[in-house]
Amino acid sequence: MKKILLFFMFSKLIFALGGIEIGTSPSTSSISNPAQTANITPEAPFYNPSATMFLENGDYLYLGACGIFPEYETNINGSTFLKTTTFQPVPSFAYTHKTTNYSFYFASGTLGQGGFLKYNVSYDAINNFNLTVLYPGIVLGGAFKLNDKISVSLGGRIIYSRLQAEGKILDRDSFKSYIETVGVAPEISFFYTPTKDINLGLKYLAKTKLDYNGKVKQGVENIVTTVFGKYSVDHRKDFPAVLSLGGLYHFNNRQRLSLGYNWIFESDKTIDNELYHKYKDTHEYSIGFEQELSSKFTGILGYGYTDRGTNGHTTGDMTQLSSQQFGIGVKYNYSNSTIISVVGGMNLYKTDHGKILNSDVETKRKETILGIGLEMKL
């Protein structure tokens, strides 16, 4: 009876395992300061592409990489059931060409949940369990100025998504299944500088339709689809639309304060046969402060809070935990055309408690992040 219970719980919890939560913040600057919507940098294509019109004329290149150390754990009745600490690398890239009349941009990175995760499962029927959650994608488009103070951009996001589960059942029957799809969504952004000390930004990214095609590559199909249904059968699960607002204020030439807000329309996304029913909208709030320490160095501090759109039916779902983000970083002006950033951060998630089949389920999650970024004017 205990094995039947654990088998059922595993089949439910596996639907909810996500990878590293990138969400609306896929580049290195957002690790130290998540409030990026009103910042003018070569990383702007990720957050507010219309800000690229306020760069100097020229070509800009951004390269970044983060190393993420996750700690994900699900406990049942006080004992560890699922756990992973698999290190995750997250690269990102952006290119912008800016002229007096227009700019165009191209950026690439992991634009959602993502990672290659090896799970330790405290259930002897499942061995060598590995979960791959990939959302590589690109952002591209163009921007232009309406006048000296306002710019607008039009573009879009393209995502390739692949979710794969593999391992062994009863230490002898290997299984491997996956789902994959491609999604496209338009976006529009605005940037406004009412004074030389204030920047205001707005971006709207439409819902990304994700129609998954599932396939069982190895194993007994009816068993695999029962236990790993969301990783083996056709279904739809969209990325929600996102409205981003931001502001930046220059206290003086050496100090800057930035604020950010993301409204993620979880309640409007389409989900087929969703295990956890409907979601409510998610709200993200962020603040960042930059202090020039010298002509070469700038210190950065940042904080973010995410209020996830759960509705009380998300027991065991690692992708739906509210969280706090703490960030710190340093920018080094290597030359007039090159900036090197070193950043660190920590995402602390609210521990979730709930019940499945009268068993107590506790979900815990934490991420420690280190990153390095390079910005160049070519």
Give the total residue count for the chain.
378
Give pLDDT, residue 8. Answer: 52
Give pLDDT, residue 205. Answer: 93
Give pLDDT, residue 317. Answer: 66
pTM of the entire predicted model: 0.89
Is the pLDDT reported for residue 272 higher than 90?
Answer: no
Is the pLDDT reported for residue 303 higher than 90?
Answer: yes
**Terminal Cα distance for the chain, rounded:** 66
Q: Which tops the pLDDT comparison, 256 or 68?
A: 256
Give whole-number Cα distances, 101 to 41, 97, 142, 144, 291, in Å: 18, 11, 11, 6, 32
Question: According to the 3-state scheme, what is the secondary structure of the chain?
Answer: CHHHHHHHHHHHHHHHCCCEECCCCCCCHHHHCCCCCCCCCCCHHHHCHHHHHHCCCEEEEEEEEEEEEEEEEEEECCEEEEEECCCEEEEEEEEEEECCCEEEEEEEEECCEEEEEEEEECCCCEEEEEEEEECEEEEEEEEEECCCCEEEEEEEEEEEEEEEEEEEECCCEEEEEEEEEEEEEEEEEEEEEEECCEEEEEEEECCECCEEEEEEEECCHHHHHHHCHHHCCCEEECECCEEEEEEEEECCCCEEEEEEEEEECHHHCCECCCCCCCCCCEEEEEEEEEEECCCCEEEEEEEEEEECCCCCCCCCCHHHCCEEEEEEEEEEEEECCEEEEEEEEEEEECCEEEEECCEEEEEEEEEEEEEEEEEEEC
d(CA 346, CA 344): 7
Q: Six-digit token pair at 87?
A: 């290190």
Mean residue pLDDT of the chain comes to 84
Give pLDDT, residue 282. Answer: 86
Which percentage of the chain shows pLDDT scores above 90? 47
217-226, 267-276, 348-357: range with lowest mean pLDDT = 267-276
Give pLDDT, residue 166. Answer: 82
Give pLDDT, residue 291. Answer: 97
Is the pLDDT reported for residue 6 higher than 70?
Answer: no
> pLDDT tens for residues 8-57?
555 555 545 555 454 555 689 999 999 999 999 999 999 999 999 999 99
Q: Which tops the pLDDT comparison, 310 or 152?
A: 152
pLDDT band at 338 (very low <50, low <70, confident <90, very high): very high
Give pLDDT, residue 276. Answer: 46
Strand-pairing partners, residue 132, are 116, 164
Q: Which tops the pLDDT comparison, 295 or 169?
A: 295
> pLDDT tens for residues 152-210?
999 999 988 888 888 777 666 777 888 899 999 999 999 999 999 999 999 999 998 88
Is the pLDDT reported for residue 329 higher than 70?
Answer: yes
User: 285, 236 in Cβ contact below 8 A?
Assistant: no
Give pLDDT, residue 118. Answer: 77
> pLDDT tens for residues 104-123?
999 998 866 567 777 777 66
> pLDDT tens for residues 62-96?
999 988 888 888 888 888 878 888 888 888 999 99
**Mean pLDDT along residues 215-231:** 67
